[in-house]
Amino acid sequence: MAGFEWGGMAIQILSGLLIFAGAGFFVIGAFGFLRMPDLFTRIHAASLADTTGMALVLLGLALLAGPSFAAAKLICLVLFLLFMGPAATHALAAAALASGLKPLHETGEKPGAKHKGSGAAKTRKGRR
> Which residues form the interface with other proteins (CB under 8 A)?
1, 4, 12, 15-17, 19-20, 22-24, 26-27, 29-31, 33-34, 39, 42-43, 46, 49-50, 53-54, 57-58, 60-61, 64-65, 68-70, 73-74, 76-77, 80-81, 84, 87-89, 91-92, 95-96, 98-101
CB of 13 to other proteins, least distance (A): 9
Considering the complex, state which of residue 88 and residue 108 has its C-beta at the smaller distance from other proteins. 88
Nearest to 25 by CA among 1, 60, 56: 56
Distance of CA 118 to the CA centre of its chain: 33
The string of DSSP codes covering 42-90 is HHHHHHHIIIIIHHHHHHHHHHHH-SSHHHHHHHHHHHHHHHHHHHHHH
CB of 66 to other proteins, least distance (A): 11
